[in-house]
Amino acid sequence: MSNPNLERRLSRFLPVLDWGRGYGRADLMGDGIAAIVVTIMLIPQSLAYALLAGVPAEVGLYASIAPLIAYAVFGSSRTLSVGPVAIVSLMTAAALAELNLQSATAIVAAAGVLALLSGLILLAMGALRLGFVANFLSHPVISGFITASGLLIATSQLKHLLGVPVSGHTLPDTIGQLARSLGQINLPTLIIGVFATVFLVWVRSGLARVLKTLRTPVGLIGPLVKAGPVFAVVATTWAAWQFDLGNHGVSLVGEVPSGLPSPEMPAFDPDVWLALMGSAALISLIGFVESVSVAQTLAAKRRQRIEPNQELVGLGAANVASAVAGGIPVTGGFSRSVVNFEAGARTPAAGVFTAIGIALAALFLTPYLFFLPKATLAATIVVAVLTLVDLKILQRSWRYSRADFSAVVLTMLLTLLVGVEAGVASGVVLSLLLHIYKTSRPHIAEVGLVPGSEHFRNILRHDVETDPQVLTLRIDESLYFANARMMEDHIYARVSADRELRHLILMFSAVNELDISALESLETINDRLKAMGIALHLSEVKGPVMDRLQRSSFLEHMTGKVFLSQYAAFQALRRIQPEPAAA
Amino acid sequence: MSNPNLERRLSRFLPVLDWGRGYGRADLMGDGIAAIVVTIMLIPQSLAYALLAGVPAEVGLYASIAPLIAYAVFGSSRTLSVGPVAIVSLMTAAALAELNLQSATAIVAAAGVLALLSGLILLAMGALRLGFVANFLSHPVISGFITASGLLIATSQLKHLLGVPVSGHTLPDTIGQLARSLGQINLPTLIIGVFATVFLVWVRSGLARVLKTLRTPVGLIGPLVKAGPVFAVVATTWAAWQFDLGNHGVSLVGEVPSGLPSPEMPAFDPDVWLALMGSAALISLIGFVESVSVAQTLAAKRRQRIEPNQELVGLGAANVASAVAGGIPVTGGFSRSVVNFEAGARTPAAGVFTAIGIALAALFLTPYLFFLPKATLAATIVVAVLTLVDLKILQRSWRYSRADFSAVVLTMLLTLLVGVEAGVASGVVLSLLLHIYKTSRPHIAEVGLVPGSEHFRNILRHDVETDPQVLTLRIDESLYFANARMMEDHIYARVSADRELRHLILMFSAVNELDISALESLETINDRLKAMGIALHLSEVKGPVMDRLQRSSFLEHMTGKVFLSQYAAFQALRRIQPEPAAA
């Protein structure tokens, strides 16, 4: 590879070529330690999120091996850790539920198809450089969705904590079923669930304080706290074995097959593929948004850059790998990536080492998982997802703007009451409609000269100079079909009452775009004002808009002139010229 | 009515109270003459557009009586003339064809339902003040739709001009059927069709010249030219009677019932009503847009104002009246309104007089219509609609912008190939998506001071002063979720390479809106720049945006300041201060 240009392009598509070249001993140390910490943390998390997705626990382990290796090769983040995450698992469960499959084998197979489709969609988006599509998920939609998902996930786990049979994919459904089955609560399960939950909450708050007083090195506190679930897993597994809780109504993980399934492409069944396509698209998009925002936050801390389109390729490859390895849809997770970063990971090789760790666990640890109570896994999920719930967004968005607030509320309510897909989709559509509605009624300010400057501001907000025969209107919006007519009406209403007027200046400093409908309106305004003996001028027309106007014949018919600055326009047209001293 | 406030509000809802009060002899003269001219013009037009809509000819007359009276009471235009028009009749035909009705009675009944639904939709939009919804039909969509409709209508009439049996609602369909039936052309029909077409084309161009050389008063030339179809009708009817053309394969209008049907509400059939609802909504919207633009053009000539929401009420009432009177959907027509205006109509009373004229025609003229060849009516339609076809819009929009061009082309193609409703709907959706796409990739200009002024322009387009430690970026777009992230990326890319930089000024003169997603981005930018030792400042923040920022905590954390003007910001932050003489 002596061609440096080709090399640069290749290493852009295969970031491994970039970081792999200079890999040294320090990298190995950092990556190795991070991998050990993350592996310990990932084992219970992978099992838990598999159960959340509605597939057997071991599938979570399979989804935490091959995808990490694929991401290490193609991903652009140095420290992102991919695998099953709460929200994507929730969406997976919702998508699989719609298929109404009965056998566990069919469900696992469908989950693989979902991962494959997500992977292919992400790869296609990457190839077409469609990363910007994710920008259409507005902050209110994402916040509302994540908060609602956190609540949905937490309530969905209550059945495991209480030991009652419940299945529902919307909040009213789940709560209704829970209420009806309160009489069947299993006491040992409840004790384990409450113990695990309280312990995990304490680990997050109290343990850090205890470790600090014990003078534990600061760098270790974070990983130790994140490894809390492992202690809960070990303790409750031991208790379940010791007291034979399986025969006292406590749900256990049970027989977990040892070893790894042989790689296999999901079978092609057009009905299933078609049915899962919409869900796969939404899972890809949400997973991508979640992952990219984690990756960017971490990259910024070390002044590294994330290439969103390359991230699509990385995540796409990870999902295809998950599908082939018998896993479920995956994405970059927040807490695991932070742990990876804080434990000192320096390159994606940490992900490869983590994959090796999980593979060893799948090979040798599974017999010990037999007695692991599902209530413990449910507790780790509940404690993890409650950090996602951010109800303050309601208050913040309400204070900031009613439009943003309504997008938060709609997304949240529909996610809780109808489902995750309806929630996101209607949030996006509402956000776009609200934006269009806002731009369709432009703010138009009458402006005057701020004394002692060349600056023009709204006459209603500032003390400014004006002239009776010159009217300046600042159009505060790009002009396009949805608002051009409204601008016309505004101008006629303002101008028709004013007998002294000789010049109308439209100040175009905020007009970023002018489509052909708006051009038509400008031509009509020009003609009508001409009939009234008023000249039409433009000021502060931006380059791109001016380019456009020059491609039409409008400037030839215009009764007035185009001025570079509003000040130049006002000075040229005002009747009352300022005194020479002030000039 | 002694309460002037109530009176004003009432006359706003019932414009007749306004113009009816001061009605005088001069008004009566003007309105009377206009009514005679318009009546003569409307008789063949009403018959023709009824046939175009797929209903018997006399239904066109019924639709030209009651609606005119209803509009005179409720409409806000002084000179608009309502009745069956080409495009609405085409849309009516398309909507009725979808129902697959067999009997003529059922088709007429369904047309009445369509008129009623359109009327109710228009009234509801008027009551809810939804007139602005029409603004979402962009100029390219309307132009493309009208041109395509003109072509569709013209080809749909070829069957009458050639005397062959053809029925199709898309261009390829109609043309295919025409091609296959070329062998069955009826010669007498062809002769009448060609004669009528050539005559009508000559009336539009040659007749005006002849009349001018004959020193006909200028005011009469327009109406005489517009009455051209009447001559064609009389001549071909006479020929059909004289030569017994009905028995030589020429399609005649035939038996037209004399008198008027008694007023009757269309029967309620949920299936039919539901099936027609979508078409009715689109017919209302298109009819409203067409009518309002005619009304505004005419009103502007006499310095009168059109109130769009009152127009909705006027057109709604006209359609309900048409439904009750056994008619079809109606709207304000361009050519008839212009004739009414030019013939001297001064108030909506002209419409009432026209209605009386048409009613007399329905009572006494119908026996004479028996021998009227359908080919003559087809010729009047073809000549009228070809003026709608404006293929230059393709060239103009191509030159102006690719986005506008693609909206024209999509609307035109889908209207021709799929149907009128698909054409309009996809045109609107494409226009909105294109607008959103454009705003999602904002233009960001680096600006500097234009020497000798306080004005800042793009450094790439103008010769301006800059300072190595101050960077000013002018954001040329409102900031919202779809583009906030792109602005972030742009800023990081520009700033990270520049070691000397100490201040970044974001010039907000073109930022008209800032949603909570963009606020989030600004906060992130502020934090990251802080870590790089660069202060973030804002300049020329508009009132509404500043109000918004003050409702968040952003301004408290911001590392820099908000400056009223960009000039003030630059003067305060630049390292190289200008020499005192230049200050």
CA separation for the pair A87, A287 (Å, rounded): 8
pLDDT in tens, A307-336: 888 999 999 999 999 999 999 999 998 888
Token pair for residue B135? Answer: 């603004």
| Same domain, yes or no: A67 and A173 | yes
| Same domain, yes or no: A259 and A326 | yes
A308-324 vs A104-127: helix crossing angle, rounded to 10 = 150
- Closest residue of chain A to B300, computed from CA coordinates: A528
| Same domain, yes or no: B379 and B232 | yes
Residue A18 within any structural domain of the chain:
no
Token pair for residue B230? Answer: 């009447």
Question: A308, B486 in Cβ contact below 8 A?
Answer: no
Extended beta strands in A508-570, E state: 535-539, 562-563
| Contact call for B482 and A136, based on CB within 8 A | yes
| Same domain, yes or no: A93 and A182 | yes
Which H, E and C letters describe A309-375, residue by residue?
HHHHHHHHHHHHHHHHCCCCCCEECHHHHHHHHHCCCCCCHHHHHHHHHHHHHHHHCHHHHCCCEHH
Token pair for residue B233? Answer: 């009708």
Chain B residues near residue A450 by CB distance under 8 angstroms: 564-565
pLDDT digit of tens for each residue in chain B (583 aa)? 456 677 777 777 777 777 777 788 888 888 988 898 889 888 888 999 999 999 999 999 999 999 999 999 999 888 899 999 999 999 999 999 989 898 989 999 999 999 999 999 999 999 998 888 888 888 899 889 989 988 988 988 898 898 888 777 788 888 888 888 888 889 999 999 999 999 988 888 888 788 888 888 876 777 677 777 888 889 999 999 999 998 888 889 888 888 888 888 888 888 899 999 999 999 999 999 889 888 877 877 776 777 888 999 999 999 999 999 999 999 998 888 888 888 888 899 999 999 999 999 999 988 888 999 999 999 988 988 888 888 888 998 999 989 999 999 999 999 999 888 888 889 989 999 998 888 888 899 999 999 988 999 999 989 999 999 999 999 999 999 999 988 988 998 888 778 889 999 999 999 999 999 999 899 989 998 998 889 999 999 998 899 999 999 999 999 999 999 999 999 999 876 665 544 4
Residue A450 three-state SS: coil
Q: Select the residue of A438, A482, A517 nearest B513 (Cβ to Cβ).
A: A438
CA separation for the pair B199, B382 (Å, rounded): 12
Q: How confident is the model at residue A410 (pLDDT cuts 50, 70, 90)?
A: very high
Question: A164, A341 in Cβ contact below 8 A?
Answer: no
pLDDT on residue B357: 94
Question: A264, A66 in Cβ contact below 8 A?
Answer: no
CA separation for the pair B120, B115 (Å, rounded): 9
Q: What does the buried/exposed string (b/e) look like for A412-423 if buried means 16 or more CB atoms within 10 Å of the residue's CB?
A: bbbbbeebbbbb
Per-window interface: B 283-322 vs A, CB < 8 A: 300, 303, 305
Write the DSSP symbol of residue B509.
Answer: T
* Nearest CA-CA partner of B125 in B309, B305, B306: B309
CA atoms within 13 A on the CB side of B578: 15
Q: How confident is the model at residue A471 (pLDDT cuts 50, 70, 90)?
A: very high
CA separation for the pair B577, B561 (Å, rounded): 19
pLDDT on residue A331: 95
CA separation for the pair B81, B75 (Å, rounded): 10
Residue A161 within any structural domain of the chain:
yes
- Closest residue of chain B to A301, computed from CA coordinates: B528
Residue finishing a domain among B357, B390, B423: B390
Residue A387 three-state SS: coil
- Closest residue of chain A to B408, computed from CA coordinates: A516
CA separation for the pair A15, A77 (Å, rounded): 9
Per-window interface: B 407-466 vs A, CB < 8 A: 431-432, 435-436, 438-443, 445, 450, 453-455, 457-458, 461
Other CB atoms within 10 A of residue B429 CB: 14
Is the predicted pLDDT of residue A522 greater than 60, yes or no?
A: yes
Structural element, H or E, at residue A507: strand A503-507
What are the φ/ψ torsions at residue A580 (nearest 5 degrees)? -50, -40
pLDDT on residue B497: 75
Q: CB under 8 Å to A504, separation ≥6 — which residues?
A: A471, A472, A473, A491, A495, A529, A534, A535, A536, A537, A560
B406 touches chain A (CB under 8 A): no
Q: How confident is the model at residue A287 (pLDDT cuts 50, 70, 90)?
A: very high
| Same domain, yes or no: B373 and B458 | no
pLDDT on residue B76: 87
* Nearest CA-CA partner of B90 in B276, B325, B283, B294: B283
Residue from B485, B488, B530, B563 whose CB has the most chain A CBs within 10 Å, to mutate: B485
Residue finishing a domain among A405, A428, A454: A405
Other CB atoms within 10 A of residue A34 CB: 27
pLDDT on residue A496: 79
Q: Give A288 to chain B, closest Cα distance, Å.
A: 14
H-helix segments, B75-226: 86-99, 104-127, 139-162, 171-180, 187-202, 208-213, 218-226
Phi/psi class of residue A100: alpha, beta or left (left: φ > 0; alpha: ψ in -120 to 50)?
left
Q: Give B85 to chain A, closest Cα distance, Å.
A: 24
Token pair for residue A382? Answer: 């509940």
CA separation for the pair B126, B308 (Å, rounded): 8
CA separation for the pair B509, A508 (Å, rounded): 10
Q: How many domains does chain B have?
A: 2
CA separation for the pair A289, A161 (Å, rounded): 31
Mean pLDDT of chain A: 88
- Closest residue of chain A to B511, computed from CA coordinates: A510
B509 touches chain A (CB under 8 A): yes
Q: Give B549 to chain A, closest Cα distance, Å.
A: 8
CA separation for the pair B370, B380 (Å, rounded): 18
| Same domain, yes or no: A336 and A469 | no
pTM of the model: 0.80
Residue A215 within any structural domain of the chain:
yes
| Same domain, yes or no: B448 and B518 | yes
pLDDT on residue A578: 63
pLDDT on residue A582: 44
| Same domain, yes or no: A400 and A446 | no
* Nearest CA-CA partner of A296 in B495, B558, B485, B517: B485
CA angle B112–B118–B121, rounded 5-degree value:
140
A515 touches chain B (CB under 8 A): yes
pLDDT on residue B221: 77
A494 touches chain B (CB under 8 A): no
Largest pairwise CA distance in chain B: 100
Residue B103 within any structural domain of the chain:
yes
H-helix segments, A136-183: 139-162, 171-180
Question: B334, B290 in Cβ contact below 8 A?
Answer: yes
| Contact call for B552 and A478, based on CB within 8 A | no
CA atoms within 13 A on the CB side of B35: 26
Q: Please state the ipTM of this predicted complex.
A: 0.80
| Contact call for B565 and A453, based on CB within 8 A | yes
Letter for the amino acid at A576?
A: I
A406 touches chain B (CB under 8 A): no
| Contact call for B135 and A401, based on CB within 8 A | no
Token pair for residue A410? Answer: 């709609």
Token pair for residue B369? Answer: 């219509």
| Same domain, yes or no: B383 and B474 | no
Residue from A432, A447, A481, A485 whose CB has the most chain B CBs within 10 Å, to mutate: A481
CATH assignment of the domain containing A477: 3.30.750.24
| Same domain, yes or no: B334 and B468 | no
Lowest mean pLDDT among A334-338, A515-519, A543-547, B107-111: A334-338
Per-window interface: A 109-168 vs B, CB < 8 A: 132, 135-141
Residue A78 within any structural domain of the chain:
yes
Question: A451, A435 in Cβ contact below 8 A?
Answer: no
Chain A residues near residue B305 by CB distance under 8 angstroms: 492
Q: How confident is the model at residue A12 (pLDDT cuts 50, 70, 90)?
A: confident
Per-window interface: A 192-231 vs B, CB < 8 A: none
Q: Is B227 exposed, middle or buried (0-12, 13-18, 19+ CB in 10 A)?
A: middle
Structural element, H or E, at residue A134: none
Range of the domain at B379: 29-135+161-390
Question: B296, B78 in Cβ contact below 8 A?
Answer: no
Token pair for residue B334? Answer: 């361009």
pLDDT on residue B325: 95
| Same domain, yes or no: A259 and A396 | yes
Residue A435 within any structural domain of the chain:
no
A374-386 vs A139-162: helix crossing angle, rounded to 10 = 150
pLDDT on residue B583: 40
B548 touches chain A (CB under 8 A): yes
Question: A424, A290 in Cβ contact below 8 A?
Answer: no
- Closest residue of chain B to A508, computed from CA coordinates: B510
Question: B355, B65 in Cβ contact below 8 A?
Answer: yes
Extended beta strands in A329-453, E state: 331-332, 443-449
Residue B396 within any structural domain of the chain:
no
Residue B558 within any structural domain of the chain:
yes
pLDDT on residue A577: 66
Distances (CA, A) of A555 to A48, A211, A470, A479, A486: 67, 74, 20, 17, 22
Q: What does the buried/exposed string (b/e) look like for A298-336 if buried means 16 or more CB atoms within 10 Å of the residue's CB?
A: bbbeeeeebbbbbbbbbbbbbbbbbbbbbbbbbbbbbbb
| Same domain, yes or no: B358 and B463 | no
Q: Give A135 to chain B, closest Cα distance, Å.
A: 5
Write the DSSP symbol of residue B136.
Answer: G
CA separation for the pair B492, B507 (Å, rounded): 16
Distances (CA, A) of A19 to A77, A338, A361: 11, 20, 28
pLDDT in tens, A55-85: 999 999 999 999 999 999 999 888 899 999 9
